Amino acid sequence: MKVTQSTFLKSVAAFTVAALTLTISSCSSGEDTSASSTDTENSSTQAAASPPLAPCELPADASAEEEVEGTHTGEDISVAPEIGTGYREGMTPVQTQGYAVATANPIASEAACAVLREGGTAADALVTAQFVLGLTEPQSSGLGGGGYILYYDAEANAVTAIDGRETAPVAADENYLIHVSAEDQTAPVPDARRSGRSIGVPGIVAALGQLHDSFGKTSWQDVLTTPQQLATDGFSISPRMSASIANSAEDLSHDPEAAAYFLDENGDAKAPGTLLQNPDYAETIRLISEGGPDAFYTGEIAADIVERATREVDGFTPSLMSTADLAAYTPETREALCAPYRDKIVCGMPPSSSGGVTVMETLGILNNFDLAQYPPTEVGLDGGLPNAEAVHLISEAERLAYADRDAYIGDPAFVEVPAGGVEELISDVYTGERSELIDPEHSMGQATAGLSQEPVMAALPESGTSHISIIDSYGNAASLTTSVEAAFGSFHFTRGFILNNQLTDFSAEPLDEDGEPVANRVESAKRPRSSMSPMLVFNASGDGEIADLNMVLGSPGGSLIIQYVVKTLVNIIDWDMDPQQAVSAPNFGAMNQPKTGLGSEHPLIANDSAELVSELESKGHEVNVGEQSSGLSALVKNGDTIVGGADPRREGVVLGG
């Protein structure tokens, strides 16, 4: 595959379900999995090996059920789309010799790992992981949402991108989020998110079905057996899930089905460790297992989704979704967007996601600076304290890339990027020109979009999500970022799963201040823009070919996903961190605004960042120190060895064998 610039816990529930005993126990023999460090020059600051674990065995601390307090730093869900639940200090990398999976929940990681251990592909394990996450992490993703999949087929040495983003109903017009109808100019109630108007046609089931048809080895029925049985027998609510329910209890209480499932008899969140059974979800999976993905988009499942979204309830404006909208949904297979960074080739999603473009434009700009001369200090298991010069350069590069993203990126079926298109935004020439706009001594505060045409889109915040990273024993890899948008989506609940609020990713106002149409306005059957950034990274051959797989990574986090992914790539590629250090390290960066963020959930930022803040302020940055709830995972492959890290800010784990 030729690549050129122009072509491209404290957390977690005890896993006590008898249904998984046979599947998971098959992972208890074979080569050992151990926590270890990568072989880098700063290995003295990295993790010593932990005692060996059997393949797919959860670490002992993955069974904690202590209650945790959910914190939120404000109302801006684009910066903090979900609550924070602490920071797990001192996590060590996990090293395996054949396959690995990282998800945001231990039960999902264990179930997906079992599929890999039994000879399944990354595509097989991804299906299992998502269906389990819809049960054990419903606040972040599920069958009622959408996502973006990057898949590497090792035999073909090719990357496939599948766009499973939600779509607007055919009946939606540009005023869909601001007016009840042409005749009734009042706003949807109680607001756009909580009304039926935020609910897009879900795409993740169709996207997973398409992936499995192309790359699956284990039968569709078999990859859904564990999620179905888990829903039937029940699982223990994790501390993070319980805290998330508590944070959204009032909104969940307005939906009778959601209230009965998530809340106790007093209307409070069900406690950590509570056995939660979901027979409706089990029945939904049974129908999908027997009828394939089409069973989700036709018949009784589709009818129930539409009934819930369009239900006439006092105080709630209904959706205009129809069963025809679901029957017509089709995921889009697109050419992956790839570009060089240092000696690597980084591949991401093309539009309708803005994530791949923005990450790669940022990296292209940074290619013009030597970040290796600005390494972090105080480096240990949790990464290190960022250097002010590095934060400045990276934040300025992100401002420039976000400016272009905000101006030009949208659903390619409706929006054409001007000038040379997406390829120009990540080209050597363009990113080189953008890099010259960075003043090493002073922040630009806010950047201007750089293509010759006038910008066609306004900036818009986004929310929520989960991420899955997988490498199988055949060398294939999957990177999926998946979402119901904000925590618990629209708060509408049917058949055991949450319905998304992804249509709030559209620009609610269809016209800009000059009266011109906004490109990211609502239109019939259109996909809203996203920041989701699943990534695959490859070693590059001398002639620009993909040589071999090197990394799988991604994160939830709304509009800040781009910054989390850039931070992790720079930590690994420029500063030689192992993947656990890289994801654990402090979050920092900027959208296209004067504020430069530093994640105070990290101990180094909370306790030792005064000098860093002062240096940034001296360069004109408006520094915003606050909690950032990333959920990164990264798998790094060197030969047969895979080393992985999971974000200490959530409850995820890396497992393998």
Apex 649 CA angle, 647 and 653, nearest 5 = 40
Residue-level pLDDT at 586 = 98
Residue-level pLDDT at 460 = 60
Q: Are 440 and 55 in contact (CB under 8 A)?
A: no
CA distances from 300 to 255, 292, 296, 303, 627 (A): 20, 14, 8, 5, 42
Position 63 confidence tier, pLDDT thresholds 50, 70, 90: low
How far is 305 from 317, CA to CA, in rounded Å?
Answer: 16
Strand pairing category for 235-236 and 158-164: unpaired
Tokens of 431: 């990113």
Give me the chain's average pLDDT, please: 90
Position 3 confidence tier, pLDDT thresholds 50, 70, 90: very low
Distance of CA 601 to the CA centre of its chain: 19
pTM for this entry: 0.91
High-pLDDT (> 90) share of the chain, %: 83
Q: What is the DSSP letter of 411?
A: -
Q: Are 88 and 211 in contact (CB under 8 A)?
A: no
The residues spanned by each domain of the chain are 99-328+474-505, 334-462+532-635
Q: State yes or no: pLDDT of 350 exceeds 90.
A: yes
**Sign of the dihedral through C-alpha 192, 467, 126, 2:** positive
Residue-level pLDDT at 519 = 79
Residue-level pLDDT at 52 = 65
pLDDT tens-digit map of 117-128: 999 999 999 999
Q: State yes or no: pLDDT of 11 exceeds 60.
A: no
Q: For 334-462+532-635, which CATH class? A: mainly alpha
β partners of residue 153:
158
Most confident segment among 47-61, 462-476, 484-498: 484-498
Largest Cα span, the chain: 69
Q: State yes or no: pLDDT of 5 exceeds 60.
A: no
pLDDT tens-digit map of 296-321: 999 999 999 999 999 999 999 999 99
Q: State yes or no: pLDDT of 179 exceeds 60.
A: yes
Helix residue spans in 311-415 (DSSP H) = 323-328, 355-366, 388-408
The mean-pLDDT minimum among 175-184, 521-530, 539-548, 636-645 falls in 539-548
Residue-level pLDDT at 202 = 98
- Over residues 602-630, mean pLDDT: 97
Tokens of 377: 């200090």
Residue-level pLDDT at 517 = 85
Tokens of 23: 């599947």
pLDDT tens-digit map of 128-146: 999 999 999 999 999 999 9
Position 45 confidence tier, pLDDT thresholds 50, 70, 90: very low
pLDDT tens-digit map of 516-574: 888 789 999 999 999 999 999 999 988 888 999 999 999 999 999 999 999 999 999 99
β partners of residue 482:
147, 466
- Over residues 72-94, mean pLDDT: 73
Residue-level pLDDT at 50 = 54
Q: State yes or no: pLDDT of 468 exceeds 70.
A: yes
The mean-pLDDT minimum among 24-28, 238-242, 402-406, 497-501 falls in 24-28
Sort 29 into a burial class: Cβ within 10 Å, 0-12 / 13-18 / 19+: exposed
Tokens of 608: 């030792």
- Over residues 463-470, mean pLDDT: 86
Q: What is the DSSP letter of 543?
A: T
pLDDT tens-digit map of 415-439: 999 999 999 999 999 999 999 999 9
Residue-level pLDDT at 334 = 95
Strand pairing category for 595-599 and 622-626: parallel
Q: State yes or no: pLDDT of 74 exceeds 60.
A: no
List of residues 6+ apart from 308 with CB closer than 8 A:
492, 493, 494, 499
pLDDT tens-digit map of 266-297: 999 999 999 999 999 999 999 999 999 999 99
- Over residues 38-59, mean pLDDT: 60
- Over residues 576-587, mean pLDDT: 98
Residue-level pLDDT at 458 = 56
Q: What is the DSSP letter of 45?
A: G
